[in-house]
Homo-oligomer: A and B are copies of this chain.
């Protein structure tokens, strides 16, 4: 039996991870309570200090989780790709959001009230394990990120970001172009540097034949070298 559709989107295939561990009754509850929301490019999905209300699942598009630091300088904390969940951490910690989320490009997000999820969690321990696993993975990434961002030099940080983008969003048909187009400013706030330095370092990489750039398209020419730069700094 195919799942009911909302705005032409098949919930059962899109919410895959969660869907798998649910009973028919639980699935019906989700169907009834899920909202599908579309966001324009650069539109805010939630913002700092807001009270978290929904579990969000990115169906389509690309989303950045970021935080405004000293002197209004933004720092990208995490990036979300389809089909990943986000927005639930603060609810579980009983805090307002400490980050904000915005769509990089036109995006479709499925929202399910956290109260529903929380109730479901108490009756379905496999669902709980899923959240424990996601949180544990993210915390491990955050722990490593702290060290990478603070100890590596500019070149190493930018190289790492490029590799991270490749892992996250993959390559285009040519097998080289990273499948996400970021402004230099976003690349900078992902790599903890100023925009000027992102631009400069990117140019250096081009001179060294590690990458090629065409506007916002970045082609990885020599991945080994990029990895070496990322490791060494």
Contact = CB atoms under 8 A, between A and B. Distances in A.
B151 A149 contact: no
B69 A140 contact: no
A139 interface: yes
B147 A92 contact: no
Interface size class of A (residues with CB under 8 A): 35 or more
A3 interface: no
A93 B143 contact: no
B122 A152 contact: no
Interface in A97-145: 98-99, 121-126, 128-129, 131-133, 135-140, 142-145
Contacts of A27: none
A70 B136 contact: no
A36 to B, nearest CB: 25
Contacts of A125: 121-125, 128
A182 interface: no
A62 interface: no
Interface of A: 67, 69-71, 73, 75, 77, 88-95, 98-99, 121-126, 128-129, 131-133, 135-140, 142-152, 156, 192, 233
